[in-house]
Amino acid sequence: MKNKKQLSYMDTVHRDGTVWNLILMVILLMFPVVVGVIFQAVPDWEGVGKGLLATAPMYWAVGVVEVITFIPMLGAGGSYLSFVTGNISNLKLPCAINALENAKVDAKSEEGEIISTIAIAVSSIVTTIIIILGVILIVPLTPIFESDLLKPAFDQILPALFGALGVALISKNWKIAVAPVILMLVLFIFVPAFNSSTVGIMVPVGVVFTIAFSRFLYKKGII
């Protein structure tokens, strides 16, 4: 009975997740169509083709890798919601991991599925509220945000977030964490082409490398 209930829940998650992802895809694609109709503007299809040829393969590869790497960490429900709302590596993934760590459950369990989905949903709601407040208050608060007193704090928000998560996770699996940490440090220090704009690409690359390195350690009997 329990397995039947869990299967029913997962079927619902996959059904609703698929429907809402398809709806969002249509909405996103309709925006440029509506803008083109309103302003009676036709895209330069040759330019669009050249742009897609240069950028689309990279995003296709990243998209495939992200699906493989993020779903085991986020769960099915959390993954559907994350891919709809975006900012997975910067916001959704840290929120989900932190919630799962505090609850001491696995993302692949039924409890983990629910907790991960709730954490990502709350993160999405909070982010939306903050964006709305930011749009409303951006003019009066701009002098404060750009002040020299607060600038160092804003520059360290993401490092502080991932640093706190890193300490918790690395301390539990330091043998696995050593190699990917060294790899990323070497790449970002000695290869100038890698910068903050490439973080979204390097996260799945680092995950794949970590999985391969973990398998190597397992085969050698180290972990």
pLDDT in tens, 178-218: 888 888 888 878 777 666 666 666 777 777 888 888 888 88
Q: Let me know if residue 129 belongs to a domain.
A: no
Report pLDDT for 197. Answer: 61
pLDDT of residue 125: 92
Q: Which of 166, 167, 180 is nearest to 217 (CA)?
A: 180
Please give the residue that has the higher pLDDT: either 141 or 119: 119
Average pLDDT, integer, range 86-91: 78
Q: Is residue 29 part of a domain?
A: yes
- Phi, psi of 42, deg, nearest 5: -110, 130
User: Does residue 1 have a pLDDT over 50?
Assistant: no
Average pLDDT, the chain: 80
**Could you tell me what percent of the chain has a pLDDT over 70?**
90
Bigger pLDDT: 177 vs 34: 34
* Dist. CA 179–CA 169, nearest whole Å: 14
Token pair listed for 46: 């040759």
Q: Can you give the pLDDT at residue 198?
A: 63
- Determine, yes or no, domain membership for 73: no
Query: Taking the model in full, what pTM does it have?
Result: 0.62
Q: Which of the two residues, 169 and 29, has the higher pLDDT score?
A: 29
Token match 């509220």: residue? 129
Going by pLDDT thresholds of 50, 70 and 90, the confidence category of residue 168 is: low
Residue 132 is assigned to a structural domain of this protein: no
Does residue 14 fall inside a structural domain? Answer: yes
For residue 4, being part of any structural domain is answered with: yes
Return the percentage of the chain with pLDDT > 90, whole number: 4
Q: Is 84 exposed, middle or buried (0-12, 13-18, 19+ CB in 10 A)?
A: middle
Q: Residue 194 has what pLDDT?
A: 66
Domain residues for the domain of 9 are 1-42
Q: Are 115 and 103 in contact (CB under 8 A)?
A: yes
Residue 200 confidence (pLDDT): 61
Mean pLDDT, range 37-50, rounded to an integer: 84
Give the Å distances, CA to CA, from 190 to 15, 73, 187, 201: 46, 30, 6, 17
Per DSSP, the residues of 67-107 read: HHHHHHHHHHHHHHHHHHH--IIIIIHHHHHHHHHHHT--T
Task: Give domain status of residue 77, yes or no.
Answer: no
- Report whether pLDDT(4) > 60: no
Give, rounded to a whole angstrom, the gap between the first and last alpha carbons of the chain.
Answer: 36
Residue 12 has pLDDT above 80, yes or no: yes
Q: How many domains, in total, are found in the chain?
A: 1
Residue 193: strand, helix, or coil:
coil
- Is the pLDDT score of 16 beyond 80? yes
Which pLDDT score, from 0 to 100, does residue 129 have?
92
Residue 119 lies in a domain: no
Q: Measuring CA to CA, which residue among 92, 73, 90 is closest to residue 82?
A: 92
pLDDT confidence of residue 60: 77
